[in-house]
Structure 1
Amino acid sequence: MDNPAALAIALASVVAVLYSAAIAYAIVQIARTRDLSEVEKVLWMIAVVFAPLLGALVWYFAGPHPFGLRLTRQVR
């Protein structure tokens, strides 16, 4: 690839695919988590969709209940 624009487009495409895959993976993991109530699942999915970078990073590194926060009192 002698054309720098073509190289930039190819690199951007790879990054976009990896980014989309990470977001999709986070949503699937949220849906499969038994430790969350339905309301908590919906809120996590909204966080990942509307703040994808922050939402996914918090999900991956802090888990389903960051800082021990729960929306419901029941523990599954």
Structure 2
Amino acid sequence: MKVEVTIDRTKKLPAGAIPALQEELQKRLARRYEDCHIIVRQAGSDGLSVTGVEKDDKKLVEEILKETWESADDWFEVH
């Protein structure tokens, strides 16, 4: 499975937020999917692309991403 998350480059994010999100998302998805490749990057708009899985799995990835983003205070430390 390949997951690509794009974050609008006009959003102000703390330093290290993108690699931290990628790492946390990798941890959470690896619990359920053994072979997953995750890319988080800034782009012209927010987006999510999930390939290599069934439609139901795409919805689950969306939910995991949403939970991960909403719980950033628990796993992301600003330095």
TM-score (norm 2): 0.30
Q: Which protein has greater RCO, CA pairs closer than 8 Å, 6+ apart? A: 2
More helix by share: 1
TM-score (norm 1): 0.31
More strand by share: 2
